[in-house]
Copies of this chain bind each other. A is one copy, B any other.
Amino acid sequence: MSQQKLITLAEAVRRYTHDGIQYASGAALPVGSDAVVFGRELLRQGRKNLHAIFHCNTQQLNLLAGAGAVTKAECGFSGLEVFGFANGLRRAVESGQTALEDYSNLAMALRLLGGALNWPFVPATVNIGSDIQHRSAFAPDDYPAKSKIPTVTDPFSGREIGAFSPLRPEVAAIHVSLADPLGNAILLGTEWSRFELARAAQKVVLIADAIVDTDCMRQYPNLVRIPDVIVDAVVYHPFAAWPQSSPGFYDADEAHMKSMNKSLSSVEGTADYLREHVTGIDDIDAYLDNIGRDKVAELSDTATAFLLAPFRQWIKTPAEVAALLAETTEETAA
């Protein structure tokens, strides 16, 4: 039997992060499932000097970097897809505030795989031969950067290929669609690299759009791609990926994706954004009010809603989740 692991967002950030931490999220894509809300809380608690491991940039990294909290970042993609360049991250990179180490999307996924397997290196048949291989923002004066993608000789053929360094982030905040209180999780939509990240990270915090009863997991065990045994904490937070999308739950908030990114293009705009959408928004009700209840309803009217239908019967109400949360708190205090 595993134990119940529900805690609040604020408690998760307090307990599992610190200044200078190697923090992973964004094993999601720029428009999709990322625990954006975790980044907001990192800023509320004033975390800084982060080493961000984001398979892809998301609005979370864009915000964290724009707010000056990121010293190092490693990414496969640093834009916002159709929403264009990520202005906060871009500004931080161009000013030298954030050293951004470039890899491809597959490279980031394989580095997480290598970390999960605890390999000393991962074979690289991509990224070699391009400037990604030897130009390093982390070791800017070295060329070729031996610490980035050195070569390794295949013992079978004698052929030279590359070698990626594996990733083992100190903590990962992983957005999931559904979690039970024990930490079993279901992801709807592409996993991107959340499966590998959940194993590569030294601590795993799930951020779930909804909490379900464990019976849901027993009915659909093949959907439970993150089992409780590797999870340290579960945070319930509706609209956790906002303004990005969560298949089954809500669509991307087109207007906010744009306005947020516009704000992040300047120091002043970022300060405004933090004041309007981050600071003091310290519970779920305040958060949903901040999005706007009409907007919440509009975004929830998604063409993907049918994907959630089989699981709705097990979703716990906010009151039920609050009651469970109170139990955990008592246990911890005891």
Contact = CB atoms under 8 A, between A and B. Distances in A.
Interface of A: 114, 117-123, 125, 146-147, 150-157, 159, 161, 163, 165, 186-189, 191, 219-223, 225, 306-307, 309-310
Contacts of A306: 219
A11 to B, nearest CB: 29
A25 B21 CA distance: 45
A220 B247 CA distance: 12
Given A189-B222, A306-B219, A123 B120 contact: yes
Given A188-B222, A219-B310, 4 more contacts: A119-B161, A120-B157, A120-B159, A191-B222
Contacts of A123: 114, 117, 119-123
Quickly give the copy total for this chain.
Answer: 2
Nearest to A149: B155
A123 B117 CA distance: 10
Contacts of A119: 123, 125, 161
19 contacts: A117-B123, A119-B161, A120-B157, A120-B159, A120-B161, A122-B123, A151-B155, A152-B153, A152-B154, A152-B155, A153-B153, A156-B165, A187-B222, A188-B222, A219-B307, A219-B309, A219-B310, A220-B223, A223-B223
A219 B311 CA distance: 11
Contacts of A223: 220, 222-223
A125 B118 contact: yes
Contact of A121 (B118, B156, B307): B156
The 4 closest A-B pairs by CB, nearest first: A120-B154, A150-B155, A119-B123, A155-B163
A257 B125 CA distance: 44
Contacts of A154: 120-121, 152, 163
Given A222-B189, A223-B223, A156 B161 contact: no
B222 A120 contact: no
A326 B57 CA distance: 50
A313 to B, nearest CB: 11
A279 to B, nearest CB: 36
A151 B121 CA distance: 14
Contacts of A114: 123
Nearest to A157: B120
A310 B163 CA distance: 44
Contacts of A186: 222
Nearest to A113: B113
A220 B191 CA distance: 14
Contacts of A122: 123
Given A219-B310, A223-B222, A156 B120 contact: yes
Contacts of A159: 120
Contacts of A121: 123, 154-156
